[in-house]
Amino acid sequence: MKLRQMTLDDLPGVLELERLLFPEDAWSEKAYRDELADLDGTRHYVLAEDGGGLAGWAGLAAVGDQADVLTIGVRPELQGRGVGARLLAALLGEAAVRGCGEVFLDVRADNDRARRLYERFGFTPVGVRKRYYQPSGVDAIVMMRALRPGDETPARGAGR
Ligand SMILES: CC(C)(COP(=O)(O)OP(=O)(O)OC[C@H]1O[C@@H](n2cnc3c(N)ncnc32)[C@H](O)[C@@H]1OP(=O)(O)O)[C@@H](O)C(=O)NCCC(=O)NCCS
């Protein structure tokens, strides 16, 4: 499994996986194009490849002291093998390199696997956005993890 930066050429594969993994609120092609237009600025998108095929992807926004995990997804048949952990570690490493002191993310309250992944990486719940996801009305849990200089390889909780 290899990680590399995502480019516009990766969009068709990512959009297909996006619609599969997030049927209720998939990002549009335009949303992704807007995100990737800021790769030299506040954004960082990373892709995981398995035997040359798309295994997963993840995106980060870093503005000043704060970074946000914007998205992360792994092809269903490859979940549970550490791809998500690799992607999240890459985002945290980038946030540390960019000098961010805190990383935030939103996760659906009913997404147990994602919540466990974030908890293993030291994220803790700091708030709830009631009925944030529509039309299901599921809450969003806001989670946060502090980053210190030197956390470029945040293996804490990642190794399994
Ligand atoms: C959430 C998501 C990104 C996690 O990715 P993943 O690749 O499955 O994550 P990992 O493999 O690193 O960890 C998942 C599980 O596999 C286990 N695992 C990891 N590597 C393993 C290995 N080599 N052998 C056995 N188990 C392993 C982890 O311990 C973890 O177990 P748990 O779910 O019981 O806590 C993925 O499930 C996904 O794409 N979900 C749908 C989209 C989504 O919900 N995204 C998050 C939005 S907030």
- Testing ligand 1's pocket by substitution, the residue of 24, 79, 92, 138 carrying the most ligand atoms inside 8 A of its CB is 79
pTM of the model: 0.94
The C-alpha angle with vertex 140 and arms to 101 and 124, in degrees rounded to 5, equals 40
- Cα separation, 141 vs 124, whole angstroms: 10
Write down the architecture of domain 2-146 according to CATH. 3-Layer(aba) Sandwich (3.40)
DSSP code per residue over 85-122: HHHHHHHHHHHHHTT-SEEEEEEETT-HHHHHHHHHTT
Q: Averaged over 93-97, what is the pLDDT? A: 94
pLDDT tens digits, 110-120: 999 999 999 99
**Total number of residues shown for the chain:** 160
Q: What is the 3-state secondary structure (H, E, C) of 135-151?
A: CCCEEEEEEEEECCCCC
Q: Averaged over 20-39, what is the pLDDT? A: 95
Q: Averaged over 127-134, what is the pLDDT? A: 95
> CB of 117 closer than 6 A to ligand 1?
yes
Domain ranges for the chain: 2-146
Q: How confident is the model at residue 158 (pLDDT cuts 50, 70, 90)?
A: very low
Classified as helix, coil or strand, 24 is: coil
- Cα separation, 51 vs 34, whole angstroms: 29
pLDDT tens digits, 51-75: 989 999 999 999 999 999 999 999 9
